[in-house]
Structures are given as C-alpha cells and as structure tokens.
Amino acid sequence: MREPPVLAVEGLDKSFGAVRALHGVSLQLHAGEAHALAGENGAGKSTLIKTLAGVHRPDAGTVLIDGEPVTLHGPADARDAGIAVIYQEPTLFPDLSVAENIFMGRQPRRSLGRIDHKAVKAAAAALFARLGVDLDPEQPARGLSIADQQIVEIAKALSFDARVLIMDEPTAALTGSEVARLFAVVRTLREQGSAILFISHRLEEIFGLCQRVTTLRDGALIASEPVEGLTEDDLVRRMVGRDLDELYPKQATDIGAVALSVRRLTREGVFTDVSFDVRRGEIVGLAGLVGAGRSEVARAVFGIDRRDAGTVEVDGRALVNGAPSAAMAAGLALVPEDRRAQGLVMGMSIERNIGLTGLRTTARAGLMDRRAERSRSLDWAVKLQVKYARIADAVGTLSGGNQQKVVLAKWLATGPRVLIVDEPTRGIDVGTKAEVHRLLSGLAADGVAVLMISSDLPEILGMADRVLVMHEGRLTAEIPRTEATEESVMAAATGRAA
Amino acid sequence: MADLPLARAVRWDTVVGALLMVLLLASFSFVDGFGNALNLSFLLGNTLPIALIALPMTLLVVAGEIDLSVASTAGLSGAVMGSLWNAGMAIETIIPLCLVLGVLCGLVNGLLVTRLGLPSLAVTIGTMAAYRGIAQIILGSDAVTDFPSQYLDFAAGRIGDTFLPYTFLPFLALLAIAVVILHATPFGRSLFAIGANEEAARFAGIRVRRHKLWLFVATGLMASLTGVFWALHYASARYDNATGLELSVVAAVLLGGIDFDGGRGTLGGAIAGVFLLGALQNAMSLLNVSAQSQIVVTGVLLVVSVLGPRVARQIGTARAGRQVTTPSH
C-alpha cells in the first residue's frame, strides 16, 4: 500500500456564471513524482491551479493534504499547507539581492530587530546547494534571466517547506539549455521527495520529465495515467478529443517570383549584412537561438526599427526606412513575437483590434465606417474560427490561442503579399497550432510569401520550404527542405557549421 | 463586456453626467440666484476657458500624454496681445499672431516629447515655467485693458436676454469638431490605441509620433485662443492671466473619466466633468462657502475623480464577470 498522496483533489467543481470551468475533477499527486497537467487552452488547467493555490474556492469537492481534507481560504493557507506555485514570469524585487528576495518579510533577525544578513546569505546558499545550482545569493535580482528568476522562486518555495510545487508553463520563455537546467533542478527536487505538478504545451517536455499525466478537456477529467506506454498521438487525442489532423500540413505549392528581397540589411550592434529572398508561394523558416537577431531583422524589414544600411524591396519596390505604414501599403504584414505587448491592445474589443490595421481602408470621407469595420473584423474572426462570445468583447478575455488568431486576423485582413510571422504558435495549444499551420500553408498556396521565425524546430522543419539560420546577428546557413534536419539547423544556429 | 447593460450602467462618464444633472436640479431648486440669466451667463463665461482647453487635453490624455503648460501659453498669448496692442498694432492682426504663437508653443512641447522621447509631464512642467517667464518679460506687471469695445462686448456679452454668452456658440462648434475627431475618425481611434498600448499601435502601422505632435500643436492653439478670450472676457491682459488653469483642466478631464494612464474615456464625460466643477464652484460661491472650503471640496472631488472610474470599472467587470466569465486557460 502506497502512502496517501501528498496532494489530492476529489470531485472538484468550479463554475463562473454559466461556464463550468471544472466539473468532477480528481487528481492524486504523490511524493517524488513529476506529474504533468495537460490540456488545451481553456481546458481548466489554470482554474485547477488557482484552486490549489487558494485563489479560487471550489463550488464542490475536496482538497486533501496527506489524506486529510483541508479548506484553503487564500494563498497564505495554500503556502502553509506546503503548496507553492511557480509562475511563468516570476515577480522579484529587482533592487534586492537574490537572498533578500527569498527571505523577504521573514529575514532571520539579530538583536534589536536588525536583519542578520549573514544568516540570510547562508540560508540562501544552502537552498541553492540543495537545488544543485550555482547562483550568487548577493547578486541583485535585476539582470537575472527569467530562468534564474524561476530558480530563485523555487528556492523561495523550498524555504517555506513546500512539498508540492506547481509549475505553470515554466519553460515557455526559456532557451534549450535553460530548460535542461530547470529539468535537472526538478529531478533533484523529485528525488528529495517533492511532488511536482508541471504544466507545458510542449509534449516532448511532458514525456521527458514526467511520470504521470492528467489530461483535462472542457473542464472535465479525461485521463490520469502513467506517461510510460503513452504516445504523443495518444496524448494529443485526449487533449483535443479527436484524432488530430496532421500537425504540419505542408502543401506543395508553385513557387513564383521573388516577393520580398532583403539585401545587406544591417543594424549596428544587432545584426549585420543580412540578405535573403522570399518567393511567392514559399514558406521560409528563420531559425536560430534566442538573441540571434531574428526578431530584430523582422522589425527592421517592417520598419519598426530603422536600418543602418541595406535595402528592403517588396515586389521590386524599395521600402522607406523606418515606416511601418509604408511597409503595409506595399503589402507587407508582420505578426509580432509578443502578442500582449506588440500584437494587441488588450482592453480594446476584438472588433477594434482587427480594425486597427484597416483604419484608413474602411474609412469613408475621413470618418470611421463602423459597419464596414465590423463586417471586416467579423469576416476574419469567422474565417480564422476565433472563439468568442461577442465581437465587442475585450480581446484580453480570450484564451492565448484565440488571441493569437485575432493577431493573425488583424494582419490577414490587410491582404498581405508578404507575411512575416514571428513565433506564430508560441504558448498556444496543439489543436490551435495545427490550425495556424494549415492557415500558413493555405496562404502560401494562394501565392503569399511567408517568412516564419520560430524557435520550435519541428515547426520549422515541418513547415518551411527553405530554412535560413541566424547566429549572433548573421545569417550562417540556408538549408533546403530536403536537407534540413535538427542537427543541420542546430549546427548552424550554434555557429558550429560556420 | 462593455456592451452588457449592467456594465454600461456604471460607466463613469454616465455617472458624471448624472451627477451634473443632479447638481443642476438641486442648484436651481435650492440655491438662491443660481437660476437667473446673469448668474448662468457668469457660470458659462467662467467655465469656458476650462472647457476650451479641455477639448484638446482630453485627446492628449487619451493618447497617454499631458500638457501642463496650457495656462502659461494662454498667459503668454494674453501678454503678447497686450504689448502688441500697446505698440499700436491692429487687433485683427494681433489675434492671428497670438494663435500662431500658440501653435509654436505646442510645437516646442510636441517636438521635445516626440523627437527626444522625453515624458510630457516633465517637458510641460518646464515649458509651463518658461512660457510664463517669457510672458512676464514681455509685459512686466502692466495690465492692458483698453481693447476695442466691440471685441470686449463679444467676449463678455450674451445673446439678447438669454443666459448664453456669444462665445458659447463657437465653443459648441469646436466641441462638435473635437467629438467627431476623437470618436468618429481613424485619427481618434488611433489615439485610444496609442494610449492603451503604444507599442501595439506602432506595430499596427499607426504613426504614433506624428499623432502626438498634432495633439500638442492643437493644444497650444486652443490654449492661445483661450488666452485671447480670457484677456477680452475679463478686459485685462496681464502676464499672470489664467494662472493655475491647467490644474482645473486636468482635474475636470480626470473627473470626466478620462483615464490618466491613457486609452479610455469620452469627450462627453470630460465636458460633463468641466461643467460639474464649474457649476459646483458657482453654487458654493452663491451659498457663501468660503474660498478655503471650496478648495477642499475641489480637492476631494479630484481624488474621487481618480478613484471613481476605477471603482466603476471594477464593479462593471465584476458584474459582467458573473454573467459571462471566460475561464482563463
């Protein structure tokens, strides 16, 4: 007989108004286990996490710690019960040291209430040693990478004697080597008897790290089972509820004339001497490590940043430097990397967000034509199957995948001849991801020239006709589809091939 | 969510409009002398400078910027107007020159903000002092009062026996123009996007800097127009005309539900805020409320104006949330 699970939930129900976010969800989390929570956007993962973190009170059902029912009245209760949540983007005090951040508000004291800085530092160092990481406790939090900030948050959780660590998409903003280090820390914690609930959209991470996986769909429990013996297809089927069409539905297209031509593009200190063409009907992948300068090239091509040297031509017409509106008029569209900061105005409606790229084209006699704006927005929201209650709802109320579809709608509505997409499927679920891929493939088939920046190698390999690779601000390789493999792309991305 | 009846019912600009109605009804009923035509024309005449500047200020705050130099620009135009009049220039030449000066003042603010990327709060605190200083250099402590009587009459007079000042009609025209610009043109829609998320606006091809520059220029123009109006209305051009007016304008605009962080608000709300403050001060004066107490009341209203819209929005969100919560992923 196993010990009772460290954390268990039974028959959890939670509704928001008429929407049942969770119904009858049960889950058991054992000591020494990394347990994946899988599901598409909107499946109820966040609601479950927030319930466990004491943020939401369940309508029905029980939470058990070590087999004992508990009621979590708030985040402090959850913490005292040994549950800690590590969020995707940690919130540390930037001007305090790492050690001070860990012990904020409960520093060891000396006489007269003075903070015992030595003890703070030693305790932090001990925590890092336990995690097997090399971090200086005295370093200020400002300037730490997101990966290091997450480690600090984990150390903080341990300092509270957390036995259950909930990690909400911790790898979304990390590079490959940072992910590997985080996983090493998670394995150490697991061996020390912690239970980890791990959320990720990346299937390979679930298979690489976790022993069990619980899948939610539409707020209901679909399965809770060992990872061993499961295939990626099995898991996707549980998440999506049907057999997924191919994830990379690349169509063969007629590749036509050059639509986007970039020559010797340079931005001082960012990227140098970048030249490439994208032809009609072609999807060109732009791969490279985070920080290689891929997004910066896209920004300079579109005119968000000024270029210091070089030319950009769309259909043979040179683009003015630093003028996105001119780029748009020439038929260029850029779906930016960060949909929250760059792609959308969160408080604005879906309708008006899509409308932002058509302010001039839908206006009549200098005035907004609201009906034209609405029909244009509705048209594209429907074409891209955005799921929303009302087109006038704030775009911030949508799930991540639907937000991304709104950004795509906003740009496709301009009828681009050249489409640049920067990380088009980051942080969105696998079903939506397949839809986005099908869409890109369809656009290429219709003669649009597509430049796709992605850190997701299978996506690049699955979708691109040709792969460009950047390393430290330079193009280091151009690989045709037939020769592109993970090895050949990574070699160029890390500078080994050059 | 904004389309739900419950959420719409607690929109702050609606609240301010309702408050204004209540205040007017109460004042007509209980405040002696409030309703007579002379008092009402005073009320409108005294509120008009605030209302005039509130028009471009609303657009500016929606776009996430602010201009605190407006009162100094108004004072500077008054001073230039006075000294040119003393120098014997024709008033028909002086007034356009003053408006050009206002455009220049706004252009300086706008260029400093958009070209050098400085925060408008800091830039316009600086130019607030600078423009006022120049006004004092130009006119010293003189007061110029002998403007042509037909101009003085136009600026201070009212239409027949009604309470409406002559100048109220041009104001209504300007208000209509501002409403159309903010709420019915691509330019106005862009301002909301810029104020809510400037980077996303830039990525959508909106010429953010050009939009802002136009706003600062328009604000300078309206401030100088107000300066001209002020000197004629009170028949006195002095370097310290309109001192402190920028705070009344900002207070009224914020009270009207324009979010200080940008991206939210309506011109109707802002103008309701302007007249709410104006009517309140008028009623309090008639009730012999001391000047000090009036300041306290205005101060409290300012705090309420910053809190109110946020509370209203939260109530709106919470109510809407009970109806259609989209569960987060």
Q: What is the mean pLDDT of residues B57-81?
A: 97
Bridge-based pairing state of the strands A7-16 and A19-29: antiparallel
Size of interface A-B (CB pairs under 8 A): 117
User: Which of A155-164, A333-342, B268-277, B278-287 has the weakest average pLDDT?
Assistant: A155-164
Task: Domain A258-493: give its CATH code.
Answer: 3.40.50.300
Interface check for B326 against chain A (CB to CB < 8 A): the answer is: yes
In contact, A328 and A413? CB cutoff 8 Å: no
Q: What is the mean pLDDT of residues A424-434?
A: 85
Q: What is the mean pLDDT of residues A239-255?
A: 78
pLDDT score, position A113:
81
Q: Do B199 and A341 touch (CB under 8 A)?
A: yes
Interface check for A36 against chain B (CB to CB < 8 A): the answer is: no
What tokens does A308 get?
Answer: 């210091």
pLDDT tens digits for range B145-195: 999 999 999 999 999 888 999 999 999 999 999 999 999 999 999 999 999
Q: What is the mean pLDDT of residues B201-207?
A: 96
What tokens does A221 get?
Answer: 């429990």
Residue A480 binned pLDDT confidence (cut-offs 50, 70, 90)? very high
Interface check for A317 against chain B (CB to CB < 8 A): the answer is: no
Which amino acid appears at position A54 of this protein? G
The domain defined by A7-92+144-240 folds into Rossmann fold (3.40.50)
pLDDT score, position A162:
87
Is the per-residue pLDDT at A478 higher than 80?
Answer: yes
Instruction: Supply the mean pLDDT for chain B.
Output: 90
Is the per-residue pLDDT at A304 higher than 90?
Answer: yes
Interface check for B181 against chain A (CB to CB < 8 A): the answer is: no
Compare all CA atoms of chain A with the CA of B180 and give the residue at the minimum distance: A367
Is the per-residue pLDDT at B323 higher than 50?
Answer: no
CA angle B171, B308, B324 (to 5 degrees): 110
* A13 phi-psi bin (left φ>0, alpha ψ -120 to 50, beta other): beta
- Where in chain A are all domains bearing CATH 3.40.50.300? 7-92+144-240, 258-493
Q: Do A17 and B321 touch (CB under 8 A)?
A: yes
- What does the alpha-carbon distance between residue A4 and residue A28 come to, in Å, rounded to a whole number? 9
pLDDT score, position A497:
56
Compare all CA atoms of chain B with the CA of A413 and give the residue at the minimum distance: B204
pLDDT tens digits for range B237-257: 999 999 999 999 998 999 898
Compare all CA atoms of chain A with the CA of B325 and give the residue at the minimum distance: A16
Interface check for B161 against chain A (CB to CB < 8 A): the answer is: no
In contact, A460 and A452? CB cutoff 8 Å: yes
Share of chain B above pLDDT 70, in %: 93
pLDDT score, position A442:
94
Which residue has better confidence, B214 or A434? B214
Q: What is the mean pLDDT of residues A285-303?
A: 92
Task: Tell me the angle at which helices B291-323 and B12-30 cross, rounded to the nearest 10 degrees.
Answer: 140
Interface check for A211 against chain B (CB to CB < 8 A): the answer is: no
Residue A400 binned pLDDT confidence (cut-offs 50, 70, 90)? confident
* CATH top-level class of B5-323: mainly alpha
Which of the 8 DSSP states describes residue B328? Answer: P
The partner residue sitting opposite A347, judged by closest CB among B263, B321, B326, is: B263
Q: What is the mean pLDDT of residues A274-281?
A: 96
- What does the alpha-carbon distance between residue A199 and residue A202 come to, in Å, rounded to a whole number? 9
Residue B134 binned pLDDT confidence (cut-offs 50, 70, 90)? very high
Which residue has better confidence, A185 or A112? A185
B58: enclosing H helix or E strand: helix B37-62
